[in-house]
Structure formats: structure tokens, C-alpha cells
Amino acid sequence: MIFAGLVISAVIFLPTMLLAFVLAIIICVAAWEWAACAGFDASSYKISYVSVILLCLVACLKFMDNQWIILIVYCGFVWWLIAVFLVIRYQMNKNVNLSSRLLKAMIGGVILVPSWLSLILIHAKTSGVALVLLLFFLIWFADSAAYFSGRKFGSKKLASNVSPGKSWEGVYGALSISLLVGVSYVLYSEMQFTYAILFLVLVVLTVSFSILGDLVESMFKRMAGIKDSSHILPGHGGVLDRIDSLTSAAPVFLAGLWAMERVL
């Protein structure tokens, strides 16, 4: 709760560039944890990996005004489409060919950098603070709803080989609460009907991909033989465990907003 409160305060009160710095710290901690998931145990390798990720973030800030920066977000979006296929194969007990530490390190970059960049670009938009907060609340409410509905009604496993605790009933609970949050935002924003319908579709897609992000991190942790990404947050695992849903949801949410702006 303290972590969430600090993040919300940063989103509300900090200008975009300062928020970028705060989120960069979180991403660097997550990169340290991802290095362990990728199989790099030595501290020297982890420091090198974090340094590379940090350089990528700095480069994004330096070239933020260039049009090609959107390609980084779309790279993140494409990765999550590929991740659907990988999770399905892993669930089917098929080889996903992710034994290479270098490949897993590159995947970590495609996960962490676009998610950070997406949050910054959303925050910089008109009504960006509200949109970032909406994204956070969507993920947090969906995660809580999935937990409680899965615990109460869960019987059909979502992906037993990837994350045995998740159920389809939990997914339904997450999507239901996300629609309620989305409708509340639509009413608050007084959106036009067509835009509101598309926005609610985007809300459902965003939360669906947030669930995928959780599954993907679980898959990589299982391949690495670890339970939590770290123990930096007592009782809650690591930073990566807290932001796994956000890393997938943010690029999808931003890509959807861009698509809606082009269509309407």
C-alpha cells in the first residue's frame, strides 16, 4: 500500500520528466531482478545489465521528440502478441526455445523499456495524469478481483503449467471490475458514444494483456526455478512481481489510445 501511495503521489504531483526519473529507478530495480530470471547470477553481470537498460532509458529521453520513438512502444506491443504464443506452447508442455541467457536478457529489455516509455508518453498527453491513474487502478482492481473471485469460485485453471493459482473465474472477475472502472471513467470524462465504446474495448484488452504479463513473468520464473523475482518488498516478493501486469498493459493501452486518435 505504501508503494502504491508513493507511485500515485508521483504521478499526480511530479512533472513528466521527474516522473520519468522516479519510474526509471523502479525499472532499474526490476532489471536487476530480471537478470536473475535470465540466468545471470553474478552481481557484475546484473550491474552490466542494469546499466544497459538505464542507457536505453536515457536514449529514449534524449530522442523523445523524434517520430521513431513510437517504434519502441510498438516493439513492446508486438512482443506481447508473441508472448501469447509462447505461453500457450509452455502450457502445452512444448519447448519455447528460451534457454539462451542473452535472448532472455533482450526480452527483458523489450518488456521493461517500452513499458516505461509508454507511461511517460501517456503522462505527457492531455489528461495524462488521469489516464495513468486509470491504468494503475485498472490493473490493481483487476488483480484484486481476480484473486478474490478465483479464490471464491475458481475451478477451471487458466494455465496450470504456467501459474497454477490462476483460474478462468478469476479472469472473468478481473474483466468485470475493469469494465466497471472503465464505465466510471467514461461517465466522468463525458465521452462521446462511439469513443466511449472503443475506449471500453481498449480497457478490456488492456486488462487481458495485464493478465498475460503476470503469466509471462511466472513462466520465466519457473524456467529459472525461482518463486519470487526478489525479496526487496517483504511479503510481496520483488518489484518485478509488483509491476509485471503493468509492463504488458502500458504499451497496449498507449497503442490503443493512438489507434483511437487516428480512427476518430
pTM, whole model, 2 decimals? 0.92
**Is 165 within 8 Å of 150 (Cβ atoms)?**
yes
Q: For residue range 174-217, what is the model confidence (pLDDT) as tens digits? A: 999 999 999 999 998 888 899 999 999 999 999 999 999 999 99
CB 38 within 8 A of CB 115: no
CA angle at 26 for the pair 14 and 12, rounded to the nearest 5°: 20
Distance in angstroms (rounded) separating the CA atoms of residues 19 and 264: 29
pLDDT tens-digit readout, 57-103: 999 998 888 888 899 999 999 999 999 999 999 888 877 777 788 99
User: Average pLDDT over the chain, rounded to whole?
Assistant: 90
Q: Using only C-alpha atoms, what is the Rg of the chain?
A: 18
How many angstroms from the chain centroid is the CA of residue 44?
27
The predicted model gives 156-164 an average pLDDT of 88
Per-residue DSSP letter, 159? E
Look up residue 97 and give its DSSP letter: -
Is residue 186 a contact partner of residue 199, using CB atoms and an 8 Å limit?
A: yes
Cell digits of residue 155: 475451478
Cell numbers describing residue 22: 522516479
Q: Residue 233 — pLDDT band, cuts 50, 70, 90?
A: low
